[in-house]
Amino acid sequence: MSETPKTDHAYDGIEEYDNPLPGWWKWLFVATIVICPFYWMYYQTGQRTVASQFEGAMAENSRLKFQEIGDLQPDEVTLATYLQKENWVKFGKSVFATHCTSCHGAKGEGKVGPNLTDEAFKHIRTLPDIAKVIEKGANNGAMPAWGHRLQMNEIVLVSVYVASLRGTNIEGGKPAEGQEIPAWPEPPSDAVTEDATEDSGEAEPAEGA
């Protein structure tokens, strides 16, 4: 049996054996390098990340809830009607908490974005303008467009929540910006009657939706 080869150097009398890595180990290393790009593409596409799975689950949750109300449109009557529906205002609040607080504050008091709790508005003159600004953005991108990230029902309901903040005048909020506008329109009388029965059901999604 031949003696195991040694390297040709020694330190303080300590010698090092020259045992090469097994061939299978080297090929395994090469295989991992070859496979990595394909695995990365597999992982990044098809809802496999935790973030994408969470977004998918929340989208499905919203879809199930929206079966009750169908497809909403951001018109004045719809917005004024849902402004009276407390359970759907709460749903809009959850959308606001997820996407809007970094700029507008947890209670709409304003940070980078304007205060939403006073009577003055920069880009809004009518109730439907809220949904328009959320969907398409404003001020050359300072207010980003959310139309590609939120469903129209979410845009309508978060608009309703934003409208509900008007006049709450949160203490410590940013100074008013823009100009005061007329009060929001009253909802149709039949919508108020229906709301008395519909609000008994829960529509608020899980925290962080």
Do 65 and 166 fall into the same domain?
A: yes
pLDDT in tens, 184-209: 999 887 765 555 555 544 555 544 43
What's the CATH number where 83 sits? 1.10.760.10
Do 16 and 56 fall into the same domain?
A: no
CA distance 131 to 157: 9
Do 32 and 57 fall into the same domain?
A: no
Do 58 and 73 fall into the same domain?
A: yes
Specify the pTM: 0.66
Range of the structural domain that residue 149 is part of: 51-198
Do 87 and 108 fall into the same domain?
A: yes
Do 32 and 118 fall into the same domain?
A: no
Whether 19 is covered by a domain: the verdict is yes
Spell out the long-range contacts of 203-207 with Cβ–Cβ below 8 A and sequence spacing 24 or more: 203/65, 203/68, 203/87, 203/88, 203/90, 203/91, 204/87, 204/90, 204/91, 204/93, 204/94, 205/58, 205/61, 205/62, 205/65, 205/91, 205/94, 206/61, 207/94
Model confidence band, residue 41 (pLDDT cutoffs 50, 70, 90)? confident
pLDDT in tens, 13-27: 788 888 888 999 999
Tokens of 65: 């809830």
Do 40 and 55 fall into the same domain?
A: no
pLDDT in tens, 70-110: 999 999 999 999 999 999 999 999 999 999 999 999 999 99
Higher pLDDT, residue 208 or 39? 39
Do 38 and 92 fall into the same domain?
A: no
Calculated CA dihedral for residues 41, 47, 48, 49, nearest 10 degrees: 100
Do 63 and 79 fall into the same domain?
A: yes
**Is residue 117 within 8 Å of 167, Cβ to Cβ?**
yes
Number of separate domains in the chain: 2
